[in-house]
Amino acid sequence: MALRRAGVVLAGVGVYGATVYLTFSYLSASKADRDAANELIAESGGVHSYVSDPKRTDTFNLIAYGYDDQIGKDEMVMGINLMRRWMLFFHARGDVLEVGAGTGRNIDYYPGASTVRRIVLTDTSDKMLLRARQKIGVMSPAQKSRFVAHEADAADLRNYSDSTFDTVVDSFGLCSFEDPVAVLREMQRVCRPDGKIVLLEHGRSKTYDGLSRYLDQNAERHAKNWGCVWNRDIDAILHAAGLEVENMTTWHFGTTYYVVGKPGSKDVIKTAAKDHMSHANGIVATCSCDCQRMPPPVYSILPRWISSHLFPWKKHSHTVSTKEAKQDRKINIADDV
């Protein structure tokens, strides 16, 4: 009986690991695509980088119409939809602001009107928000009345006063914002002191070095295809923003972060801002070291005591400091849905 259970567990782990590997491979596109992205960077003398490209909103507009179809199956297989539902069911309350709302993939998971009065969706991509508005448009009049969608820069929410919202939500946005630390500071500013900030993010793994090397290796091509910098250091970003983290768990070998927090004190945020210096883009990741020749991330599925003997690569850092872009931001607020 025990042997049978062990077999079932091993089979489950194998299927789960294969699913994660295939998902990462699918979203990363081909090796040729990666090489083309890296060659462009090399030819520009390192000036051009998809990871630090401030025009990634153009990428979001380009992929908006097929975005749900392209990632829907992967999110279902990896349980992301359940995580979205869990996050909002247990933590969304009162007046809610969602930044980086994109095509509105969270819309169906918000609790009813007795729990959540109003949901404000914001994004810089008008094409992404158009898809969200289409989803809202087919709702019943009662449901529809709770939602509004605005085009806005999450790093500069000047149209909202301090302490406006009970809950501020972001799902898979810290990887895409030009300055994720500035966004988190704004999220804290507009959140009521007793409110909640809930995040579902992906970033580099602190548990499996091999998987983080894989993310580093493919960061440029992934940013090129999706506008997403998937290897940012989420822990460092949260610390730099001064967010008070109440609970954080990681999933998918440490690459998916589930975070529940609240606004940090003004003193903590001020101290974090001084320490922040130039972390606007978190981790910038293309490198030319031995990790470029690493095998597929099945390495990351193995127990560490096995993988360290099979693949004894030397540890090294991929952290590259980047200067914060200091530019004027203009917000265009669209009409309500």
- List the domains of the chain with CATH numbers: 52-147+164-281 (3.40.50.150)
- Measure the N-to-C terminal CA separation of the chain; round to a whole number of Å: 58
Report the C-alpha gap between 42 and 36 in whole angstroms. Answer: 10
Cβ-based neighbours of 239, under 8 Å, separated by 6 or more: 272
Q: What pLDDT tens digit does each residue of the chain (337 aa) get?
A: 666 666 655 656 555 555 555 555 544 445 555 555 555 555 555 557 888 877 889 999 999 999 999 999 889 999 999 999 999 999 999 999 999 999 999 999 999 999 999 999 999 999 999 999 999 999 999 999 999 999 999 999 999 999 999 999 999 999 999 999 999 999 999 999 999 999 999 999 999 999 999 999 999 999 999 999 999 999 999 999 999 999 999 999 999 999 999 999 877 777 777 666 544 444 333 333 333 333 333 333 444 444 444 444 333 333 333 333 333 333 232 333 3
The one-letter amino acid code at 295 reads: P
CB atoms within 10 A of CB 136: 19
Exposure of 256 by Cβ count < 10 A (0-12 exposed, 13-18 middle, 19+ buried)? buried
Pair type for strands 256-262 and 94-99: unpaired
Cβ-based neighbours of 290, under 8 Å, separated by 6 or more: 313, 314
pTM of the model: 0.74
Q: CA 333, 174, 49, 283 torsion: positive or negative? A: positive
Report the C-alpha gap between 335 and 337 in whole angstroms. Answer: 6
For residues 187 and 168, the answer to whether their CB atoms sit within 8 Å is yes
